[in-house]
Amino acid sequence: MSHYTTALLGLLFVVCGVSCNEQCGVLVNIDSGPVCGKVEIAENSTKYYSFQGIPYGKPPTGARRFAELEPVEPWTDLLYAYEEGPACPSRDIIYGSITVKAKGVSEDCIYANVFVPATAQLSTDELSEVSLLPILVNIHGGAFNAGSGNRDLHGPELLMVKDVIVINFNYRLAVFGFLSLASDKIPGNNGLRDMVTLLRWVQRNARVFGGDPDKVTVLGESAGAASVNLLMMSDAAKGLFNKAIIMSGTAFPSFYSTSAVYAKYVADFFLGQLGVNSTDPDEIHQILIELPLEDIMKANDVVQYNSGIASFVPVVEIEGHNYTRIIDDDPIVLIAEGRGKDIPLLMGFNQNEGETFRWLLTIMDALTRYKTNPAAILSPRLAYELSTEEALAKAELVAKRYFDGEATMDGFIKSVTDQLFQYPIIKLAQWRTLLNSAPTFLYVFSYQGDFSVIKRSNWLSYNGTGHVEDLTYVFRTTTFLRDHVSIPPQTRDDHMRDWMSTLFSNYVKCNNPTCTESDDPQWPPINQTELMYQLIKEPNVYSLSALSDEFKTMVEFCDSVDDQVRTRSETFKQQHACKMHGGILFTLVVTATTIAGLELTIDDLLQQQSPELMTDSTSSPRPDDGAISTLSGNMGSTDDVVTTTEVETTIKPSVTDENVSITTLRIETEAPTTGLTDRTESEVVSMEQNNLIETTHGLVRGFEWHTTGDIISYIDIPYAKYTKYFEEPKSSNAWETTHEVREHKSRCPQLQGGSLVGSQDCLTLSIFAPANAENVSVLFHIHESNFVQGSADPALYGPEYLVSKGLILVLPNYRLGPLGFLCLRNTVAPGNAALKDLSMALQWTKNNIAKFGGNPDTIVVSGEGTSGALVGFLALSSSSRNYFDKAITESGSVLSYWALDRNPALTGEKLTEALTKIDNSVNLETAEILTILKAAQNIHFRPCIEKGNNPFMTQTPWGMIREQEVNITFMIGSANYAGLNEALDQNEASIEQLNDDFATLLPDDLAFGSDIERQNVVRNVRSQYFIENKPITLEDHIEGLSLCFTDSCFLGPAIRTARSLANAGAKVYFYEFSFTELISESHTVDRPVEGAVRGDIRNYVFTQDGRILTEGTAEREVVDIMVDTWFTFIENGNPVANETDWNRLTVTVPAQEEWMQLGPEIGLKQGLHLSRLNLWTNIYNNYFIEMRNNVKRPNLNIYTGIVSLITYFGFRRFRIAD
């Protein structure tokens, strides 16, 4: 059982000193009613009580949407506070795959999560002060527009060991939290008012949880830190807390602006998106509270796209009568006046804050946009307060310091680090010393962990510590650490978590981080003599440091840029000035601004967190993306080396490789070796001990996989290359140095949000093998691409479940879009390049897998969706079918109409025309890849029938099946609602078209001899799925639409393919998949039907982002069933589902066909949806285009759109709320 799973019921009744009854283990009575919590286990087997999802205010819904929170309605029945509530509506591109919103999002989101050490005395009575525990209230970050108080990033376990009560909570975000109309009804700062409401709630209920209302510390990180600093200066929060901790954020408006001018710009733009033209604030308010959430969020997204992530932000409020005023003046003025100076403060920043945003800057093409508009490097405040001439002059100063004549990404990153994060903290520290403030403790966090959850969450690579990293050593990042126990510490990272949580809990309890009053403390508060900070570089090592010359120079520079700060500082002993200049640089970091002219949507950014964009050519090696249990042994890594082309490259050691020299090597482009080098027995043993494998092309080193040392990973091994865009692949070059890559980066060229992602050096594969594997079976899984996007990403196709069964997993890349599927049937683009890539990858695997411990005679190929169709093509082509003996497909078949381009010449003409419109001076051979991909955006590329030399296939799949004997064994099936996404993407226009001419819903591989035949089919299909003569609507007919798309696009073609293969001699096992326990977190819409969607099966056989489900849970039991089913098929060619034998499909009448139901009910069935599928069987028996000659095909246009829907939904499901 997981170390952090809830204790069993019996454990709940042994708790002492708390109120218990037969129904509840941990009972408290707060001011609004009784609350039932549960007992959990933290670090060092420490018991604690959790009370999650407690409402602290009435839901701000309906007429209360923009109002100050009202007291929650009291209750008398037990409130079972076992789970976190939903997060507040927002769009998050900051925290990557850390974010897990188990309860989704809702405007009903005003919930607190209280975590109490078991040493606390829970009571409703007044207790002695000695027995009360201090309280830490955590305000989450997220640029005021994202995040939540969930334990995905803010797990309390480390602090439970330290006897500190932890309270996390949600507050309103984005438009709901910070829209300002400067009116009584929508004054702005609702999110800050929520925080005040929570702090008041804490004061009223602290003693109930055994907490001391007079010892409340408020902590915040990033925007949460800015919020804490603002509350320190607010009359509304006086007396609600007595200490503060701010991490990487201050009230200095660095990445936001509190000006009314900026707030009005954002509000006007938002209202314009909604079509609200009124200037009456009461009328606007009424419109906004009546609008659906979806409409509000769509407009919110557009604002974020144009104005940046930090769009809706705190603002200086006007005086009003109907709300609590939070900010009554410019924060810079308030700080200079000494507001909040009497509150003790612990604050600090990370060494390389800006590196966390490198991926976003790269995606946004920041350098190009800066060159277009130099003022984009300034903060929002300066951008909106300075004249154009003044702004450009200030921007020139910044550019001179950070770019040295030429704009570079490293310069941008340094500017972000300095101006947005480090300078504001240092400036606040300086002003507090001059104001004789309460004790202030300053730190710089520069510990480079062996496993960084921030780097892992967005696939980043850099030296040092980026934004948010310090927070992950105070709170437990549950998403990635899962069952790992950090205390008692075993690894360096464990020791740092233990130490950081101790320093912070000491401050909460003792008013200083060391809990000592020594005359010579290891960490004293700052003073006017010299600004000293604690450099946190290694666990348990105090390093008191003075500001370096570099820091001092940076501060002086920033002081020279901001005239307002300099003016406000005249009463101090020195001129400070500046302030941070990030806003519209945060234009480029947290801002996708109108000024910079961005072309990306928020969805684009969410989908573009790919490894290729996270580093530039000068970045440091990626750290091992490892879980904590496997960190020993593989600390010293070298740079990932791509060895497929002739290139000079520098191999740089990581920071832990102090004794490794820097060398330059030249990788020659010689032909691959034909045999293995003779090695002595001792050399072979040494290679095995170091996970060295000698392939036909050179040495490859494996590394322990980041979740378990029982898996050895060999990442991004080149198996082929191509020089000309569309040519067939060639064998990759041999490499002379050992191929050593720890993390997957390789991706074939593709468009994401209008930007080029990937490179031509992409024909690679990754291998995941059991440690000490010997002659084990091999699964060669083809990633879903919808023919245009994706890569063999182990974050999506995690090896843990399958490899733990004793299999080897191989994940190959292949070319996509026009590079993979353009078919001109000539020497420029013969066609099917992607299938030829995969064929060569299979050949490489067949020739080399024995060296990795695999059995070359037991290779199984699998895929889902469009990759399932690719599996079918590989099984039928003479170029590839001899490389494997079994195949698994789900919701994708060679007989799906969308799997074959029956008119590739027309597709080629469309591409040529589109290319000419973009640039008539180039052609397909001379154009840049980006130009070709942009020209191809609205064209659908698929496998084709070739002509000429070395073709992959010269017949249609149906023709190949009919004319050859098939010796491969298949497991074929479909999700029971595979077409749901296609149904959900219908709109009013397409539904209107459908009602006008239902024939537009028919697949385009049907041909009719007359309109009478066509109308007969239309009538039969419509009566099967819909009520005749009644208009189809999305509201009333979503299930009918889903089943119609499922049967015509996925399930129907799957059973026809299975029958045809069985007739051709293949062994076929057929199934329908309907499990819903693990609906992908990346799915962005609620499912109106109960069932599985195309591609869902991936979540049941592969881990997602390395998350291994806890054994014994219902979800894990389903995973084990599916993994065992795949395993038995891979091993024996005869699948067993939950101990149920599975009979192969035999050619008989449909009512007697046997198929396996893989869902909540598992069992062998006869007759697959007879009424529905018999309809399509009869239609294809009579009207399939390859069965009819010389018939005119109707003009069917909705299915042209369905191809794009399949493309869109297939990839969209991969990464959005990750």
Just list the catalytic residues: 222, 353, 467
C-alpha dihedral, 273 to 276 to 278 to 284, nearest 10°? -110
Whole-number Å distance between alpha carbons of 1202 and 982:
7
Provide the β-strand partners of residue 974: 1072
Number of other CB atoms surrounding residue 291 within 10 Å = 13
* CB-CB contact of 700 with 739 (8 Å): yes
At 232, list the tokens: 């320190």
* CB-CB contact of 1041 with 1032 (8 Å): yes
The contacts of residue 1117 (CB under 8 Å, 6+ apart) are none
The contacts of residue 999 (CB under 8 Å, 6+ apart) are 1014, 1015, 1017, 1018, 1194, 1196
DSSP 159-174: HHTTT-EEEEE----H
Task: Using the structure block, give the residue that is written with the tokens 């803010």.
Answer: 154
| SS3 assignment, position 807 | coil
* CB-CB contact of 724 with 731 (8 Å): no
Provide φ and ψ at 998, rounded to 5°: -65, -20
Number of other CB atoms surrounding residue 889 within 10 Å = 28
Backbone angle region of 597, left / alpha / beta, with phi > 0 → left and psi within -120 to 50 → alpha: left
Calculate the alpha carbon distances from 441 to 73, 425, 473, 792 in Å: 41, 11, 18, 47
Nearest CA-CA partner of 712 in 848, 859, 852: 852
Cite the DSSP H helix spans in 254-355: 260-274, 281-290, 293-307, 331-336
The contacts of residue 577 (CB under 8 Å, 6+ apart) are 558, 559, 560, 561, 562, 563, 564, 565, 566, 567, 569
* CB-CB contact of 801 with 1123 (8 Å): yes
Buried b (16+ CB within 10 A) or exposed e, 1093-1119: bbbbbbbbbbbbbbbbbeeeeeebebb
C-alpha dihedral, 1137 to 1139 to 1141 to 1145, nearest 10°? -10
Whole-number Å distance between alpha carbons of 585 and 592:
9
* CB-CB contact of 150 with 168 (8 Å): yes
| SS3 assignment, position 115 | strand
Whole-number Å distance between alpha carbons of 47 and 272:
53
| SS3 assignment, position 321 | coil
Task: Using the structure block, give the residue that is written with the tokens 């709630």.
Answer: 201
Whole-number Å distance between alpha carbons of 884 and 904:
29
